């Protein structure tokens, strides 16, 4: 794909990063920037003692400025000095910078896009195949694990630690909170200041390439959160870039929203996604705030074009977002998890119907103020039993899965970017048992086609009638071969004995899994093997009678065939 200024101005460019920014060309360093309305543009930096007027840029096309310099070394810091229409001097970081100073510093750094020799061909070939399970373990890079002294891990070490944990846990993909450069650590990367620069907190782009490669070589994919809604209002970034709104349509509460109707802005955002997918071999992007983007002028059309263009360029990459009918391969769903947790907390709730091709999320938005385990009522043991029932129910629902780090061992403290997960909790028996259950659920999902297959909903998902029993919910999953998984949950504090449900075939319905097993911290009560009785129920000719312990979820398995 060759860059054309016409495509930039038309709003269809996906590779503007190959032209704008800082590049090495013919032995010189070339700086190019789009600065509409500027009276003059200069390049300044550590290479000239930050003299603001030594290196003037030439306007090589309307609103596009270029400066060619020699003797510039990699990692030199720089900014653009833009002279506005009223003569004000603005010091601005490069919108297309590939690397930046570590916050709180904010200058851009000379860094040429990594020409990395990838060794992940086997994984890339695998992701081109048809349907596969998708379960995402999401981390914040700076607080997943740290060194003993509290220092954050670099990208390479983070990759090693993530591989070890995910191989044990059984998730198919690592999910990363936003890693584009940002100043506000507390936001978890959701207030981006750079759209082509990985944050330098954890190393340089080549280090991140190695991290992704390590994961791919371990048969683990990589998702990353991406914010395309806007950026914080500051004096060095995109806001009022040339003394007026260049990238934004409006600003509110120190936040600027992208102008999704401006062609150059659309090209900027298309190119940002293209840059990360092409240079870092990411397997998926989770687009944050997609519903809000759709509410802004031009936002819905922008999302439609974004999904269409990126999918055409990267057909085996998964795009996920909360907006419907714009072309996302997966929609994001947190409502189901919230409703199931309400049930577990004693609120009789009508569960929404599952959606086709969605991601069931247990993410930061659901746990920002209170963790899953701390939301559960009751005694210490009851909190764990309720949450075990919730996670087992959610894991078996239609849709891909996303779990925020810490959920797998029931962390009590809410996520903080300032310190690592409370791994010391695994010194306690109940947390170790909870982790063992999470591992079992993850592997069960990944290896059981009846749970992860995305066949049409009416062919593989049936709601079980709770018969008015408070707190009881259930459903049936069926794979393409006719094997069935019956998922029965009792979120109440009382045993349900027996719970009768109709089935279409006679034969054996064996307990495959129960959250009440001793090894997971339960009391070891079992439904055992159920043989269908020739007694009509729920419009079916046969029925089974299951024993449902309080605060538990049970999986029953029925193999295809009559017996």
Element (H, E) at 395: helix 380-396
Q: Is the peptide bond before 498 cis (omega within 30 degrees of 0)?
A: yes
- Per-residue pLDDT at 30: 97
CA trace torsion 92, 95, 98, 101 (10° rounding) = 30
CATH number at residue 543: 2.60.40.1180
Distance CA 92, CA 239 (A): 10
**Domain for residue 488, yes or no?**
yes
Q: Does residue 37 form part of some domain?
A: yes
Residue 253 resides in a domain:
no
- The answer, as to whether pTM is greater than 0.85, is yes
pLDDT tens digits, one per residue of 109-125: 999 887 899 999 999 99
Name 270's Cβ contacts closer than 8 Å, sequence gap at least 6: 12, 13, 14, 305, 306, 309, 310
Tell me whether residue 280 is in a domain.
no
pLDDT confidence band for 130 (50 / 70 / 90)? low
**pLDDT for residue 78:** 98
The overall average pLDDT reported for the chain is: 94
User: Which residues contact residue 477 at a Cβ distance below 8 angstroms, ignoring those fewer than 6 apart?
Assistant: 396, 398, 450, 451, 460, 461, 484, 485, 487
Band the pLDDT of 37: cuts 50, 70, 90. very high
Q: 244 CB contacts (<8 Å, ≥6 apart)?
A: 37, 84, 85
Q: For residues 295 and 303, what is the distance between their CA atoms, to the nearest angstrom?
A: 11
**Above 60 in pLDDT, residue 464?**
yes
The pLDDT assigned to 398 comes to 93
Pairing of strands 173-176, 221-227: parallel
Residue range 435-448: mean pLDDT, rounded: 96
Q: Which of 395, 381, 397, 383 is nearest to 345 (CA)?
A: 383
Tell the residue number behind the tokens 């300044």, with chain if given. Answer: 44
Strands 248-252 and 255-258: antiparallel
For 323-347, write each residue's pLDDT tens digit.
Answer: 999 999 999 999 999 999 999 999 9
Coil, strand or helix at 249: strand
Contact 476, 464 (CB under 8 A): yes
Give me the pLDDT at residue 184, please: 92
Q: Which of 77, 109, 141 is the last residue of a domain?
A: 109
Q: How far apart are the first and last CA of the chain?
A: 58
529 has pLDDT over 80: no
Q: What is the pLDDT of residues 154-195, one digit of tens each?
A: 999 999 999 999 999 999 999 999 999 999 999 999 999 999
**Domain total of the chain:** 2
Mean of pLDDT values over 45-64: 97
Average pLDDT over residues 5-33: 96
Q: What is the Cα 332 distance to its own chain's centre?
A: 10
* Gap between the Cα atoms of 438 and 442, Å rounded: 6
Q: How far is CA 324 from the centre of its chain?
A: 17
On the question of pLDDT at 131 being above 90, the answer is no
- What pLDDT does residue 560 have? 85
Residue ending a domain, choose from 60, 91, 109: 109
Closest of 367, 368, 369 to residue 387, by C-alpha: 367
Element (H, E) at 256: strand 255-258
The answer to the question of residue 325 being in a domain is no
Comparing CA positions, the residue from 280, 287, 316 lying closest to residue 304 is 287
**Parent domain of 542:** 461-558
* Chain length of the chain: 563
pLDDT tens digits, one per residue of 471-487: 999 999 998 888 999 99
The pair of structure tokens assigned to 550 is: 């309080």
CATH of the domain at 61: 2.60.40.10
Residue 505 lies in a domain: yes
CA angle 108-112-117, nearest 5°?
A: 140
Specify the pLDDT at position 531.
85
Residue bearing the bigger pLDDT, 481 or 142 = 142
Confidence of residue 488 (pLDDT cuts 50, 70, 90): very high
Residue 562 pLDDT greater than 70, yes or no? no
State the DSSP code for 64.
Answer: E
Q: How far apart are CA 190 and CA 180, in angstroms?
A: 9
Would the pLDDT of 361 be above 90?
yes
Strands 484-490 and 472-478: antiparallel
Asked, for residue 21, whether it belongs to a domain, the answer is yes
pLDDT exceeds 80 at position 563: no
Amino acid 265: pLDDT? 98
Token pair for residue 51?
């003299």
Largest distance between two CA atoms of the chain:
91
Is 529 domain-assigned? yes
Domain boundary among 109, 137, 161: 109
pLDDT band, residue 129 (cuts 50/70/90): confident
Cβ atoms of 34 and 80 within 8 Å: the answer is no
């Amino acid at each position: 794909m060759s860059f054309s200024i016409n495509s930039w101005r038309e709003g269809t460019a996906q590779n503007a990063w190959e032209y704008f920014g800082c590049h090495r060309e013919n032995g010189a360093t070339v700086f190019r920037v789009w600065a509409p309305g500027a009276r003059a543009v200069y390049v300044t930096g550590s290479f000239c003692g930050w003299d603001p007027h030594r290196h003037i840029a030439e306007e090589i096309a309307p609103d596009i400025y270029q400066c060619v310099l020699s003797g510039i070394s990699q990692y030199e810091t720089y900014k653009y000095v833009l002279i506005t229409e009223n003569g004000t001097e603005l010091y601005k970081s490069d919108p297309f910078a590939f690397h930046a100073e570590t916050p709180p510093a904010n200058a851009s750094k000379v860094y040429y896009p990594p020409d990395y020799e990838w060794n992940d061909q086997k994984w890339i070939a695998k992701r081109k195949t048809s349907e596969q399970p998708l379960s995402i373990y999401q981390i914040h890079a700076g607080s997943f694990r740290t060194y003993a002294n509290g220092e954050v891990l670099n990208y390479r070490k983070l990759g090693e630690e993530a591989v070890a944990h995910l191989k044990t846990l059984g998730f198919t993909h690592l999910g990363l909170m936003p890693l584009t450069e940002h100043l506000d650590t507390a936001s978890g990367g959701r207030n981006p200041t750079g759209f082509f620069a990985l944050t330098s907190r954890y190393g340089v782009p080549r280090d991140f390439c190695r991290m992704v490669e390590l994961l791919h070589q371990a048969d683990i994919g990589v998702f990353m959160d991406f914010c395309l809604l806007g950026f914080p209002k500051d004096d060095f970034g995109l806001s009022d870039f040339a003394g007026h709104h260049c990238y934004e349509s409006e600003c509110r509460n120190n936040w600027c929203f992208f102008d999704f109707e401006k062609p150059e802005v659309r090209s900027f955002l298309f190119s940002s996604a293209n840059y990360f997918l092409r240079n870092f071999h990411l397997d998926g992007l989770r687009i944050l705030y997609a519903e809000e983007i759709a509410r802004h002028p031009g936002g819905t059309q922008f999302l439609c074009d974004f999904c269409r263009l990126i999918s055409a360029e990267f057909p085996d990459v998964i795009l996920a977002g909360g907006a419907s009918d714009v072309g996302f391969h997966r929609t994001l769903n947190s409502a189901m998890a919230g409703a199931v947790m309400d049930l577990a907390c004693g609120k009789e709730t009508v569960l929404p119907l599952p959606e086709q091709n969605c991601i069931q999320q247990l993410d930061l938005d659901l746990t920002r103020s209170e963790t899953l385990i701390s939301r559960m009522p009751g005694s210490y043991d009851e909190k764990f039993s309720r949450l075990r029932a919730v996670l087992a129910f959610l894991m078996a629902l239609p849709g891909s899965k996303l779990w925020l780090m810490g959920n797998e061992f029931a962390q009590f403290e809410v996520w903080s970017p300032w310190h690592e997960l409370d791994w010391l909790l695994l010194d306690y028996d109940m947390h170790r048992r909870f982790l063992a259950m999470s591992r079992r659920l993850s592997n069960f999902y990944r290896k059981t086609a009846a749970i992860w297959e995305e066949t049409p909903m009416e062919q593989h998902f049936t709601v079980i009638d709770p018969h008015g029993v408070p707190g009881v919910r259930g459903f049936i999953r069926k794979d393409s071969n006719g094997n069935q998984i019956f998922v029965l949950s009792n979120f109440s504090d009382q045993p349900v004995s027996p719970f009768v449900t109709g089935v279409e075939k006679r034969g054996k319905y064996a307990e495959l899994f129960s959250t009440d097993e001793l090894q997971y911290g339960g009391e070891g009560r079992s439904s055992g093997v159920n043989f269908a009785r020739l007694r009509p129920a729920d419009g079916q000719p046969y029925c089974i009678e299951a024993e449902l312990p309080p605060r538990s979820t049970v999986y029953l398995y029925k193999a295809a065939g009559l017996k």
